[in-house]
């Protein structure tokens, strides 16, 4: 070819040619891909599959002692949902970013998707099912209903568990990022509640109603003033 100008190649032609080349290089030859009948194909350097390690763990879940044998890689969230059928605890992002899987362990909130079940031997775990029942709601659940602190309801179990823990944190004097002092007891303020609940995402946008519900609950507590 004497002149590059003689080559008339459109952008579309170039993309098609590139795709064909990439596909051809990614597909092994049929001769190399065939494996004799009864034989097992093995990748160079491959090792035999290692069976999962099963561990025993004992926890008190919603007031009931549970003896479990689980794969040591299993998260607390999956144990609650799959092993114990406590599906009130939701799997949202599975990355610890949305808060839908929040439960209480020994009274403190935790994202159950980020912790392994075997790490909590002897712990007391409370899920949304353990806070209240349809016949006997927890006061925080009642406040969420009163103030419409939910829409689709998917994040609500995590929101409620987190809200209960938030009240206990403030009562215990634990500061947050917006607390005015690290030594003085934080106030039951809307700003304080918003900051502490910021790890629980509501994609429906019911945030103002959630804060109203928590504030109402805090005001109903003896000696608490929101």
- The fold of the 53-131 domain, in CATH, is Ubiquitin-like (UB roll) (3.10.20)
Cα 165 to Cα 156: distance, rounded to the nearest angstrom: 14
Output the CA–CA distances (angstroms, integers) from residue 9 to 2, 22, 219, in the order listed.
Answer: 16, 19, 74
- The two domains 53-131 and 135-226 share their CATH topology (first three levels equal): no
Q: Among 1.10.287.610, 1.10.3720.10, 1.10.150.120, 3.30.930.10, name the CATH number for the domain at 135-226.
A: 1.10.150.120
User: How do the domains of the chain map onto residue ranges?
Assistant: 53-131, 135-226
Provide φ and ψ at 182, rounded to 5°: -85, -10
Q: Which residues contact 67 (CB under 8 A, 6 or more apart)?
A: 56, 58
Q: What is the pLDDT along the chain (226 residues), one digit of tens a residue?
A: 555 455 566 766 666 766 666 655 555 544 444 555 555 555 666 677 888 999 999 999 999 999 999 999 999 999 999 999 999 999 999 999 999 999 999 999 999 999 999 999 999 999 999 999 999 999 999 999 999 999 999 999 999 999 999 999 999 999 999 998 998 989 889 999 999 999 999 999 999 999 999 999 999 877 655 4
């Amino acid at each position: 070819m004497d002149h590059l100008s003689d080559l008339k190649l459109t952008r579309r032609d170039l993309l098609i040619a590139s795709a064909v080349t990439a596909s051809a290089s990614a597909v092994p030859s049929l001769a190399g891909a065939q494996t004799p009948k009864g034989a097992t194909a093995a990748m160079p350097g491959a090792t035999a599959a290692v069976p999962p390690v099963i561990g025993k763990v004992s926890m008190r879940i919603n007031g009931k002692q549970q003896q479990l044998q689980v794969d040591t890689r299993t998260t607390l969230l999956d144990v609650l949902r799959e092993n114990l059928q406590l599906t009130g605890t939701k799997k949202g992002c599975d990355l610890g970013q949305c808060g839908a899987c929040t439960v209480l362990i020994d009274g403190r909130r935790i994202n159950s998707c980020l912790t392994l079940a075997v790490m909590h031997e002897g712990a007391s775990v409370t899920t949304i099912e353990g806070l209240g029942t349809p016949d006997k709601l927890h006061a925080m659940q009642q406040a969420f209903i009163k103030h419409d602190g939910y829409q689709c309801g998917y994040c609500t179990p995590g929101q409620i568990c987190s809200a209960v823990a938030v009240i206990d944190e403030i009562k215990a004097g634990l500061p947050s990022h917006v607390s005015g002092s690290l030594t003085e007891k934080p106030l039951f303020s809307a700003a304080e509640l918003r900051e502490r609940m910021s790890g629980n995402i509501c994609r429906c946008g019911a945030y103002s109603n959630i804060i109203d519900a928590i504030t109402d609950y805090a005001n109903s507590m003896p000696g608490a003033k929101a």
